[in-house]
Amino acid sequence: MGVMINGHYQHDDPGPDTTAHGAYERAKSTLRHWITADGPFTPDAGRYHLFVAWNCPWAHRTLLARAVLGLEDAISVSIAKPRRTAEGWVFDASGPYGDGLLRANAVHQVYARQRPAYTGRITVPVLWDKNSQQIVSNESADIVRMLAQEFDPAGRLVPQAHLADIDHWNTMIHTQINNGVYRAGFARTQEAYDSAVTDLFAAMEKVENHLEQHKTLVGEQLTEADLRLFPTLARFDVAYHYAFKCNLAKLSDYPNLWDYARALHNIPGIAETVKPEIYKAGYFSPSELRNPLGIVPKGPHVDWSTPTKRQITLS
């Protein structure tokens, strides 16, 4: 993902952060301003721009919120190329992977514009303010919440009556599932891997059992919690199961989770954000530890079109 020191990009990526026991630790996002009606960052249509990558699950959740809330015209977007290079996330000069806003060649050039000079990981998503020419946030959870609260007056993804339950699910999902697959895939010891996989599949069972009696995670309607879980589900069978050794079961082995995932996929706008072949190209990119030859598998084929028992809508 690359790293920047005092505004200067470092080509020697130190790789994922791990503890002395070989456990993966996700770096914390540090650019975390907030959009509010009182400003200085106000929720104005056309003011903000997202820098994302299709294969990044953290960027995916912001694209999901943008799609289901109908904010495509209000918030523009630049999409980085599927595979990172020595420059990190990069753009073409034009086309679907070009940056039409800043004409950047790489995401680190966006971070280089930040003042004071930025030090930290070069990650997506990035929410950019066109007015002040600075990064509002590089924390995906904050971006999703801002879109849900500040750009949708009805707050349909975060209904106040269910906010405590949404936050409860968000915490569990992030710790054990969203980040759990990375804790497994980036583990450097057997002990760290075993712990991560055990936690991951215990959480998957918990969600599976919950969905036996409920249509969604919270309140029988689409909420932010569902959008935060879906990116991991969308990648599970084509990437995490194989590339990250999360192979005690596939998503398709869970009747309720699989039905729920397909029902989410059926919501208008969501299917267009799901890119299985790009996920495989990204997660099976060359890696000394996980895939030294960089061979991308042909399968599996995941059929999202199978009819579902449930229908999920945005209230």
Please report, for residues 97, 155, 163, the alpha-carbon distance to residue 160 in angstroms, rounded to integers and kept in the order given.
38, 8, 5
What is the model's pLDDT at position 91?
98
- pLDDT bracket for residue 28 (50, 70, 90): confident
DSSP states of 232-252: HHHHIIIIIHHHT---S--GG
160-283 under CATH 3.40.50.300, yes or no: no
**pLDDT value of residue 162:** 97
pLDDT of residue 2: 81
Query: Any idea which residues carry the catalytic annotation?
Result: 56, 182
CA distance from start to end of the chain: 37
- What would the pLDDT profile of 69-121 be if each residue is shown by its tens digit? 999 999 999 999 998 999 999 999 999 999 999 999 999 999 999 999 999 99
In the chain, where are the structural domains located? Answer: 3-150, 160-283
Which is nearest to 65 in space by CA: 281, 275, 264, 310? Answer: 264
pLDDT tens, position by position, 154-201: 999 999 999 999 999 999 999 999 999 999 999 999 999 999 999 999
Q: Return mean pLDDT, the chain.
A: 94
**pLDDT digits 0-9 by tens, 64-74:** 999 999 999 99
Residue 17 predicted with pLDDT over 70 = no
Tens digit of pLDDT for each residue in 197-232? 999 999 999 999 999 999 999 989 999 999 999 999
Q: What sign for the dihedral angle of Cα 237, 25, 284, 76?
A: positive
What percent of the chain stands above pLDDT 90?
89
Position 18 scores a pLDDT of: 66
> Could you name the CATH architecture of 3-150?
3-Layer(aba) Sandwich (3.40)
Region 230-245: mean pLDDT is 97
Q: What is the pTM of this model?
A: 0.94
